[in-house]
A = this chain, B = another copy of it.
Amino acid sequence: MTGSLVIVGTGPGKPELMTPAAGSALARATDLVGYAAYLDRVPARHGQRRHASDNRVELERARHALMLAASGRDVAVVSGGDPGVFAMAAAIFEAVEAGDQAWRSLDIRVEPGVTAMLAAAAEVGAPLGGDFCAISLSDNLKSWATIERRLKAAAEADFVIALYNPASRARPHQLGQAFALLRTLKAATTPVLFVRAAGTSEAKVIASDLAEANASVADMRTLVIVGASTTRCVGRWIYTPRSEREAAS
């Protein structure tokens, strides 16, 4: 008896931003595993079992999903955004590596989705129009020194910077520290965007600049974008030109 496991990206939140492939993968599963808020996005289907968990027990959830698949169930692990970007896919493969050797021969697939920074960028224009990086500000799994090293390198490279997990109740101070560091490295006029609940019906944008950016407006549902030196406004949109020459003109 061989089961399967698919890690499904449900996108930023609006049903119409979830791919049909993700919808099919969820519909085919015998078991759904995930954070309760993501499971709530999935229409109920008779006979399908739901295993909801807290948002912070990713490895435990991953092991549970793998055990179900190994027992012959067809499991969908329900992720927000894209499962490969600061979400459940890496946790699944960590659990495979540390777990039962038999898990390595399971049928495991990843179903991509629209990750938060793409939905956030679309809300304001095209701020990711040049080279960019994505950094999670959570220091639960890496040191703050590593995060600082990456912010410095991102400034040196003049990347547009997408900050995931900028703040939570347990981590209220990281974003302010990140802004303080970036203020020593980038122009005060650098655009900073706080996009809350991007790609949902509750999307809200606060546009600021690095000098004025107030870290306390960010929460768990906020994606923060810090511009490159070329990022700028035109009309009511914010974008980063593709070209250095364009920027200089």
Contact = CB atoms under 8 A, between A and B. Distances in A.
Contact of A244 (B130, B132, B146): B146
Interface in A5-48: 9, 11-12, 14-21, 24
A217 interface: no
B19 A18 contact: yes
Nearest to A150: B157
A153 interface: yes
A243 B142 contact: yes
A129 B16 contact: no
Contacts of A149: 156-157
A126 B91 CA distance: 9
A141 B199 contact: no
B97 A110 contact: no
A52 interface: no
Interface stretch (A167-175, A176-184, A204-212, A234-242): A234-242
A92 B103 CA distance: 47
A114 interface: yes
Interface in A67-116: 82-86, 89-94, 96-97, 103-105, 108-115
A110 B121 contact: yes
A130 B122 CA distance: 23
B129 A89 contact: yes
A201 interface: no
A145 B18 CA distance: 39
A239 B157 CA distance: 25
27 contacts: A17-B20, A17-B21, A18-B20, A84-B122, A84-B127, A84-B128, A84-B129, A90-B129, A90-B130, A90-B240, A91-B242, A93-B234, A93-B237, A94-B242, A94-B243, A104-B234, A109-B122, A110-B122, A112-B118, A113-B114, A115-B118, A131-B136, A132-B134, A133-B154, A150-B159, A154-B157, A156-B156
Interface of A: 9, 11-12, 14-21, 24, 58, 82-86, 89-94, 96-97, 103-105, 108-115, 118-119, 121-122, 125-136, 141-143, 146, 149-150, 152-154, 156-159, 199, 234-237, 239-246
